[in-house]
C-alpha cells in the first residue's frame, strides 16, 4: 500500500506581533505522507484526527518570545486539544476503534502517531449518547472545566452580587455566565457583536452589551459596582472594572486576549486594587482540573445533556480551513467554540 497523504496545519513563521496570517504564520501543508500499515508506533497508537480545538492560547504558542512549555515549533504541525480515533495500537490501554481526547498535545494533521511517551496526554473518551463528540473539546471539555473550576475555586459568590464577564459569549465565558445565573447573581456580559449580544440574552444575562458600540465604563457605573469580575481580556477592560468595583471585590484572571495579537495592553489602575483591597486570582484551568473533575462530571455534564446549560459551536469542515479559522478566532469573528472538523468517521 503506497503512503497516504496526511495533510497538516503547519507553523511556518512565528508572529512577533499582530494577528496570525493564513498562509504565512500557519498554512495548510500537503507535502506529508504516512505509511498507515508500517509506520513505527513507538509503543503508542496510530490515530485518525476527527476534531481539533482552536483556542486563544494558540496565539501565545506562536510568539517566539513567550518561552513556556507550550511553545509551538516552526515547520511542525500546530498542537492543541483534539479528539482522535485509534486505527492501530501497540499501547496496552488503547484498542483499535477507541475514541481518545487529547489534552493539548494533538498535532494538527490528518493522521497522527501518539507514541507511548505522549500517551499521558490522551485519555479514553466515553461520550454520553446524547452529546456530540465536539462538545468534549468545548462545554464538556477544557473550556467548560476551566469555567467551572475557576468559578468554584475563587468566586465564593453570594446571591444578589454583581458579576461582570468579559468575552462572555466565548467558550469559557458563556459557561461562567450560566454558572453565575444558577447561583442567583446579576450578570453583566460584554461581547464584540450584536449577534453575540443576542446569544448572551438567550443565556439569561441581565445586561449584555457590544463593547464596540457601547461605553463600557458607563455600563459598569450604572449597573455596578462589581463584586466579581471574570477577566478574559485584560488591559483597559480590567482597568474599567477596577474603577467600578466594590471594596473587597474578586477578580478572576483567566485570560488577556486584548494583548495577545498586539503590543502588551498594560493595566494602569492597580492602585484601585490596593485601596479597595480587591483580590486578584490568576489561574490556569488545567491546574485545578484534578480537584474538580468529579464534580464537573456530576454537576455540569447532566445539565448539558438536558439542555439546562447551553452552548454554541463554530465549526469549519476540513483541515485546510484551519489557518483562516485561527485568524477568525483571534479577531472574534467566530460565534461559539471554534472547532475544525478534520474527519467525520
In this structure, the answer to whether residues 148 and 219 fall within a common structural domain is yes
For residues 111-134, one letter each, b for 16 or more C-beta atoms within 10 angstroms of the residue's C-beta and e for the rest, the string is bbbbeeebbebbeebebeeeeebb
In this structure, the answer to whether residues 63 and 109 fall within a common structural domain is yes
Q: Which residue has the higher pLDDT, 153 or 65?
A: 153
What does the pLDDT average to over 299-312?
A: 97
In this structure, the answer to whether residues 95 and 175 fall within a common structural domain is no
Average pLDDT, the chain: 93
Give me the CATH number covering residue 159: 3.40.50.720
Is residue 294 a part of any domain in this protein? no
Q: Identify the residue whose cell numbers are 485509534.
A: 86
Is residue 303 a part of any domain in this protein? no
pLDDT for 332 equals 87
pLDDT for 269 equals 84
Is residue 302 a part of any domain in this protein? no
Q: Which residue has the higher pLDDT, 1 or 319?
A: 319
In this structure, the answer to whether residues 203 and 221 fall within a common structural domain is yes
Is residue 332 a part of any domain in this protein? yes
Alpha helices, H only, the chain: 58-61, 142-154, 173-182, 194-202, 216-223, 235-243, 270-275, 285-299, 301-305, 322-331
Q: Which residue has the higher pLDDT, 256 or 88?
A: 88
In this structure, the answer to whether residues 327 and 232 fall within a common structural domain is no
Q: What is the greatest pairwise CA distance in the chain?
A: 70
Q: Which residue has the higher pLDDT, 163 or 64?
A: 163
List, for residues 32-56, the tens digit of each pLDDT value: 999 999 999 999 999 999 999 999 8
C-alpha span between 306 and 5 (Å, rounded): 40
List, for residues 185-224, the tens digit of each pLDDT value: 999 999 999 999 999 999 999 999 999 999 999 999 999 9
pLDDT for 335 equals 85
Is residue 297 a part of any domain in this protein? no
Tell me how many domains the chain contains: 2
In this structure, the answer to whether residues 200 and 334 fall within a common structural domain is no
Give me the CATH number covering residue 59: 3.90.180.10
pLDDT for 260 equals 63
What does the pLDDT average to over 75-90?
A: 95
List, for residues 230-270, the tens digit of each pLDDT value: 999 888 999 999 999 999 999 999 987 665 666 667 788 88
Is residue 307 a part of any domain in this protein? no
In this structure, the answer to whether residues 146 and 215 fall within a common structural domain is yes
For residues 310-323, one letter each, b for 16 or more C-beta atoms within 10 angstroms of the residue's C-beta and e for the rest, the string is ebbbbebeebbbbb
In this structure, the answer to whether residues 148 and 214 fall within a common structural domain is yes
Q: Residue 195: is the preceding peptide bond cis (ω within 30°)? A: no
In this structure, the answer to whether residues 165 and 187 fall within a common structural domain is yes
In this structure, the answer to whether residues 44 and 56 fall within a common structural domain is yes
Q: Is pLDDT at 68 greater than 80 in this prediction?
A: no
pLDDT for 258 equals 62
In this structure, the answer to whether residues 75 and 190 fall within a common structural domain is no
Is residue 291 a part of any domain in this protein? no
Residues spanned by the domain of 75: 4-138+312-341
Is residue 114 a part of any domain in this protein? yes
Q: Is pLDDT at 70 greater than 60 in this prediction?
A: no
pLDDT for 45 equals 98
Last-in-domain residue among 246, 269, 286: 286
In this structure, the answer to whether residues 134 and 146 fall within a common structural domain is no
Q: Is pLDDT at 123 greater than 90 in this prediction?
A: yes
pLDDT for 224 equals 93
Q: Which residue has the higher pLDDT, 228 or 14?
A: 228
18 confidence band (pLDDT: 50, 70, 90)? confident
Q: Is pLDDT at 69 greater than 70 in this prediction?
A: no
Task: Quickly list DSSP for 95-126.
Answer: -TT-EEEEEEEEESBSEEEE-GGGGGGEEE--
Amino acid at each position: 500500500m503506497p503512503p497516504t497523504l496526511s495533510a497538516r496545519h503547519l507553523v511556518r513563521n512565528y508572529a512577533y506581533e499582530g494577528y496570525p496570517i493564513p498562509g504565512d504564520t500557519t498554512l495548510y501543508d500537503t507535502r506529508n505522507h504516512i505509511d498507515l500499515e508500517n509506520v513505527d508506533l513507538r509503543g503508542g497508537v496510530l490515530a485518525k484526527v476527527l476534531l481539533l480545538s482552536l483556542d486563544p492560547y494558540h496565539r501565545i504558542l506562536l510568539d517566539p518570545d513567550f518561552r513556556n512549555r507550550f511553545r509551538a515549533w516552526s515547520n511542525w504541525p500546530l498542537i492543541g486539544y483534539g479528539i482522535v480515533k485509534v486505527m492501530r495500537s501497540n499501547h496496552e490501554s488503547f484498542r483499535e476503534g477507541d475514541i481518545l481526547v487529547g489534552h493539548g498535545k494533538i498535532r494538527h494533521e490528518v493522521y497522527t502517531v501518539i507514541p507511548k511517551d505522549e500517551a499521558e496526554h490522551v485519555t479514553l473518551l466515553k461520550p454520553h449518547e446524547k452529546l456530540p463528540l465536539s462538545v468534549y473539546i468545548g462545554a464538556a471539555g477544557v473550556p467548560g472545566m476551566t469555567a467551572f473550576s475557576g468559578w468554584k475555586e475563587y468566586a465564593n459568590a453570594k446571591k444578589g452580587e454583581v458579576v461582570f464577564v468579559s468575552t462572555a459569549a466565548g467558550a469559557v465565558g458563556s459557561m461562567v455566565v450560566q454558572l453565575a445565573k444558577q447561583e442567583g447573581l446579576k450578570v453583566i456580559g460584554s461581547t464584540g457583536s450584536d449577534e453575540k449580544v443576542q446569544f448572551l440574552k438567550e443565556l439569561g444575562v441581565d445586561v449584555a452589551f457590544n463593547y464596540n458600540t457601547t461605553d463600557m465604563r458607563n455600563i459598569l457605573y450604572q449597573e455596578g459596582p462589581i463584586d466579581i469580575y471574570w477577566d478574559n481580556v485584560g488591559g483597559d477592560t480590567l482597568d474599567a472594572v477596577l474603577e467600578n468595583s466594590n471594596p473587597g471585590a474578586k477578580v478572576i484572571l483567566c485570560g488577556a486576549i486584548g494583548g495577545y495579537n498586539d503590543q502588551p495592553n498594560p493595566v494602569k489602575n492597580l492602585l484601585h486594587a490596593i485601596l479597595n483591597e480587591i483580590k486578584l486570582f490568576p489561574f490556569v484551568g488545567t491546574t485545578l482540573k484534578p480537584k474538580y473533575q468529579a464534580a464537573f462530571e456530576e454537576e455540569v455534564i447532566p445539565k448539558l445533556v438536558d439542555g439546562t446549560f447551553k452552548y454554541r459551536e463554530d465549526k469549519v469542515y476540513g483541515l485546510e480551513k484551519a489557518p483562516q479559522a485561527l485568524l477568525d478566532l483571534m479577531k472574534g469573528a467566530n460565534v461559539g467554540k471554534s472547532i475544525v472538523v478534520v474527519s467525520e468517521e
